Structure 1
Amino acid sequence: MNNIFLITKREFLTQVKKRSFIILTLLAPLMIVAFGAVIGLMFKANESHNVIQVVDKSGLFKGQMKSDDQLNYVFISDANENAKINTLKNDESLNGILILPELKNHNYDELEKNTRLVVNSKIGFDTKQRIVSDITNVIKKEKMKQLGIAETELNNLDQHFTLKTINVSENNKEDSDLAFGVKTGLSMVLMYVTFMFIIIYGVRVMRSVLEEKNNRVVEIIISSVKPFELMMGKILGVTMVALTQFIIWITMSVIGALILNTGFSSIQKNIPGGNEELMSKLDIAQIATQISHSLLELNFPLIIFVFIIYFLLGYIFYSSIYAAIGSAVDNETETQQFTLFAILPLTLGMYGSFSLMNNPDGPLGFWLSIIPFTSPVAMIARIPFGVPVWQLVLSIVLLLGTTVFMIFLAGKIYRVGILMYGNKATMKELWKWIRG
């Protein structure tokens, strides 16, 4: 046991003393935020301003189709229709001409059939759908007028209905749409982080074992410690490194949520009511404040506890497999035939968990969070929505038992494979090592 502690300590200190670890740990949250901002800017940069001239032969659409920053409608007389179409190809200031024929006898089918959009370049799908939506809204209003319905009554027909949800299992707390969105976002982030880190750090264990084996350093180490102690020391050392990063990131996230929740609220109270321009600039801040408030309303102690437990057990479970693979082969090329067995269950759990967002308590969510091969990611995906205590306990017990059993099997493979050279391992060979 003392040897395992010493090896764990050595692996942990070797990793955390690296400058790259410190920089990545501190800058990773900022890098994620910056990455999201860059993606948003990329979408914004790809937006284009389109100018569409409209020939409205019925006079029905003029004044009804509104322009904005992305789409500008310019209504022209039908007398210039053919001339404009002929010069459209060489007109760089214009993107297209929308021809809206005359509406006869309220024949909207004929209107749709003869309406056409002439363009001089490819326009985006969103732009086309926006034009269709604007035309549809005008036609809808016209049809309502024929039925004798006033515009105010029409607006009442389109009024959105909000359904309040009271969760009796959470002390009758109201579960709003924003809260559900926050839970979904948190669920996806935790699930994806767990999936990525189990693979990244598991592969790191495998490469470390493979490197020591190829350098014959392991022959010297084995003379002082048992193979099982060396394997467990490596796994636990890298586990502590990952947990250290997570604890720092969780602390930074909670502090950030607290700052957003209190900081912007105090700023808004001091803004004069008539300063509408400044208030509009704080709309994004208000949304961020609401999101942070919804985050802080969650049962964070339970979420953090479950996250750490499942990451710890899931990582040890899969790292045992990776350590066994690293000891059984002589080079990284040979690892490909075995790593698939570690990646596939995790991938199945992650993609299966996407369906949990709409029904976290469904049968798929239950079984994915109970089966040990998929529970490290599936249960973490479910926990923001709330999980019955008995399911949580059952899942942890099964995962713990399976992890201990996997360590036992991996230890048997590691004990033989770590000193084997030049012998290409097969599934039959691995079975012999386990039985022996």
Structure 2
Amino acid sequence: MNHIFLITKREFLTQVKKKSFIILTLLAPIMLIAFGAVVGLMFKANESHSVIEVVDRSGLFKDKMKSTDKLNYVFVSEADEKSKIKNLKGNESTDGILILPELRNQNFTELQQAARLIINSKIGFDTKQKIVSDITDVIKKEKIKQLGIAETQLNDLDKGFSLKTINVAENNKEDSDLALGVKSGLSMLLMYVTFMFIIIYGVRVMRSVLEEKNNRVVEIIISSVKPFELMMGKILGVTLVALTQFLVWITMSVIGALVLNTGFSSIQKNIPGGNEEMASKLDVAQIATQVSHSLLELNFPLIIFVFIVFFLLGYIFYSSIYAAIGSAVDNETETQQFTLFAILPLMLGMYGSISLMNNPDGPLGFWLSIIPFTSPVAMIARIPYGVPAWQIALSIGLLLGTTIFMIFVAGKIYRVGILMYGNKATMKEIWKWIRN
């Protein structure tokens, strides 16, 4: 145990003292936010603003098709129709001319067949769909008017139905749509974080093993320690690196959220009428309060416990596989044929867990969260919805037992493979190493 502790300490300090680790740890959240902002600005910069001149022969659409910041309707007289069409080509101030024919005998089908949009350049699909939607809305209201239905009656027909859901399994607690959305969001976040950390730091273990093997440093190290102790030290050391980085990111996220919330409140207070106008338009405070209330209703001690246990066991389980792969090959190119065995089960668990939002207690969710190869991500995805205690205990027991077995198997491969040079390990040879 003393040797494992020393190797763990060395591996941890070696990693965290690197400039790349410090820079990545501090800048990664900022870079992620900046990336999102850049993507948002790109979409904003590519937004189109179209000017459509409308010739309304029916007189039905004028003042009913409302302009927006992206689409501006300019109604022109019928007398100017021919000249407008003639001068459309090369006209930079107008993107198109919408011709709406005369409505005869309330024949809306004939109006639709005769209507046309003449453009001088390509317009976006969204712009065309908006024009069609605006025309459809006007025609719909006109048809309703002809049927003698008042607008108040129509609005009453369009009212949605809100169904209150009471969960007797949770002491008759009301399950709101927002609460379900919060659970789904938390589920996807925890699952994705676990998946990414296992992949990223599992590969780091593999590369560390491969680097020491190629540098022949391992020959000196194992003269003082056993191969199994070296492997476990590396795995635990990188585990502590992952947890350190994870804790730093969580701390930065919490501080950032508090600062942004305080800053937004200060800005809102300093704007004349901001408290009333912005609150009525954005309802930020109300939404934040509802989300916070939904989060506080969750069993966070259990969620945190399950997340930590499955994160650590899942990481050690897959890191053992990656360590075995790193010791069995001579270069990073050869790792591709073996890493597939580690990535596929995780991907199966992650993508299978996406369907859990519709039925978290279904057979797929149950088996994905019980089978050790997929349970590190599937159980974490299920836990915000609530999981019976016996299923959590069974899953932990199976994952713990499988992890111990995988460490044993990986130790067998590591013991022989770490000293093999120049020979490409085959599945047959690896099986011999495990049996011996």
TM-score of the two chains, using structure 1 as the length reference: 0.92
| Deviation digits for residues 54-112 of structure 1 (CA, Å, limit 9, x no counterpart) | 12121111111111111111111222223222222211111111222222222222222
Instruction: Determine the C-alpha separation between the residues in 2 that align with 1:180 and 1:389.
Output: 21
Query: Cα distance, 1:273 vs. partner?
Result: 6.6
Aligned to 1:147: 147
Query: Cα distance, 1:133 vs. partner?
Result: 1.5
Aligned to 1:38: 38
| Deviation digits for residues 353-372 of structure 1 (CA, Å, limit 9, x no counterpart) | 22222222222222222211
Aligned to 1:134: 134
- The secondary structure found in structure 2 opposite 1:90 is coil
What aligned pairs does 1:36-115 form with structure 2 within 5 A after superposition?
36-115=36-115
- The secondary structure found in structure 2 opposite 1:148 is coil
Amino acid at match of 2:194: T
Instruction: Determine the C-alpha separation between the residues in 1 that align with 2:330 and 2:58.
Output: 79
- The secondary structure found in structure 2 opposite 1:48 is coil
Query: Cα distance, 1:173 vs. partner?
Result: 3.4
Segments of structure 1 that go 5 or more residues without pairing to the other structure are: none
Say if 1:46 and 1:300 are closer, same or farther in 2 by CA, change over 3 A: farther
What aligned pairs does 1:237-276 form with structure 2 within 5 A after superposition?
237-254=237-254, 276=276
- The secondary structure found in structure 1 opposite 2:205 is helix
Query: Cα distance, 1:347 vs. partner?
Result: 1.3
Instruction: Determine the C-alpha separation between the residues in 1 that align with 2:373 and 2:140.
Output: 53
Q: Which moved more, 1:234-243 or 1:364-373?
A: 364-373
Instruction: Determine the C-alpha separation between the residues in 1 that align with 2:20 and 2:238.
Output: 15
Aligned to 1:317: 317
Instruction: Give the aligned length.
Output: 436
Aligned to 1:186: 186
Aligned to 1:124: 124
Amino acid at match of 1:4: I
Is residue 257–residue 295 contact of structure 1 (8 Å, CA) maintained in 2?
Answer: no
Is residue 268–residue 274 contact of structure 2 (8 Å, CA) maintained in 1?
Answer: no
Say if 1:419 and 1:370 are closer, same or farther in 2 by CA, change over 3 A: same
Structure 2 residue 28 is matched with structure 1 residue 28: yes
Q: Which moved more, 1:327-336 or 1:289-298?
A: 289-298
Say if 1:252 and 1:36 are closer, same or farther in 2 by CA, change over 3 A: same
Query: Cα distance, 1:373 vs. partner?
Result: 1.1
Aligned to 1:396: 396
After superposition, the CA RMSD in angstroms is: 2.5
| Deviation digits for residues 200-250 of structure 1 (CA, Å, limit 9, x no counterpart) | 111111111011001110000010000011001100110111112223333
What aligned pairs does 1:404-419 form with structure 2 within 5 A after superposition?
404-419=404-419
Say if 1:123 and 1:176 are closer, same or farther in 2 by CA, change over 3 A: farther
Aligned to 2:234: 234
Instruction: Determine the C-alpha separation between the residues in 2 that align with 1:362 and 1:88.
Output: 60
Instruction: Determine the C-alpha separation between the residues in 2 that align with 1:126 and 1:179.
Output: 32
Aligned to 1:372: 372
Amino acid at match of 2:67: S
Instruction: Determine the C-alpha separation between the residues in 2 that align with 1:227 and 1:353.
Output: 37
Q: Which moved more, 1:99-108 or 1:233-242?
A: 99-108
Query: Cα distance, 1:417 vs. partner?
Result: 0.5
What aligned pairs does 1:218-367 form with structure 2 within 5 A after superposition?
218-254=218-254, 276-279=276-279, 283-284=283-284, 287-288=287-288, 290-367=290-367
Amino acid at match of 1:337: Q
TM-score of the two chains, using structure 2 as the length reference: 0.92
Instruction: Determine the C-alpha separation between the residues in 2 that align with 1:361 and 1:78.
Output: 64
Say if 1:345 and 1:351 are closer, same or farther in 2 by CA, change over 3 A: same
- The secondary structure found in structure 1 opposite 2:87 is helix
- The secondary structure found in structure 2 opposite 1:74 is strand
Instruction: Determine the C-alpha separation between the residues in 2 that align with 1:217 and 1:146.
Output: 88
Is residue 268–residue 275 contact of structure 2 (8 Å, CA) maintained in 1?
Answer: no
Aligned to 1:381: 381
What aligned pairs does 1:159-198 form with structure 2 within 5 A after superposition?
159-198=159-198
Is residue 268–residue 278 contact of structure 2 (8 Å, CA) maintained in 1?
Answer: no
Is residue 260–residue 292 contact of structure 1 (8 Å, CA) maintained in 2?
Answer: no
Amino acid at match of 2:228: F
Instruction: Determine the C-alpha separation between the residues in 2 that align with 1:35 and 1:286.
Output: 28
Aligned to 2:207: 207
Segments of structure 2 that go 5 or more residues without pairing to the other structure are: none
Say if 1:419 and 1:274 are closer, same or farther in 2 by CA, change over 3 A: closer
Amino acid at match of 1:109: T
Instruction: Determine the C-alpha separation between the residues in 1 that align with 2:166 and 2:388.
Output: 18
Instruction: Determine the C-alpha separation between the residues in 1 that align with 2:196 and 2:307.
Output: 14
Q: Which moved more, 1:380-389 or 1:343-352?
A: 380-389
Query: Cα distance, 1:389 vs. partner?
Result: 1.9
| Deviation digits for residues 282-330 of structure 1 (CA, Å, limit 9, x no counterpart) | 6456545544444344333222222221111111111111100110011
Is residue 198–residue 314 contact of structure 1 (8 Å, CA) maintained in 2?
Answer: yes
- The secondary structure found in structure 2 opposite 1:162 is coil
Q: Which moved more, 1:4-13 or 1:220-229?
A: 4-13
- The secondary structure found in structure 2 opposite 1:42 is helix
| Deviation digits for residues 133-161 of structure 1 (CA, Å, limit 9, x no counterpart) | 21121111111112111011111111232
Is residue 269–residue 275 contact of structure 2 (8 Å, CA) maintained in 1?
Answer: no
Amino acid at match of 1:76: V
Instruction: Determine the C-alpha separation between the residues in 2 that align with 1:141 and 1:323.
Output: 68
Instruction: Determine the C-alpha separation between the residues in 1 that align with 2:41 and 2:183.
Output: 25
- The secondary structure found in structure 2 opposite 1:88 is coil
Say if 1:186 and 1:243 are closer, same or farther in 2 by CA, change over 3 A: same
| Deviation digits for residues 170-191 of structure 1 (CA, Å, limit 9, x no counterpart) | 4433333233222222222222
Say if 1:276 and 1:86 are closer, same or farther in 2 by CA, change over 3 A: farther
- The secondary structure found in structure 2 opposite 1:92 is coil
Q: Which moved more, 1:368-377 or 1:299-308?
A: 299-308
Is residue 209–residue 326 contact of structure 1 (8 Å, CA) maintained in 2?
Answer: yes
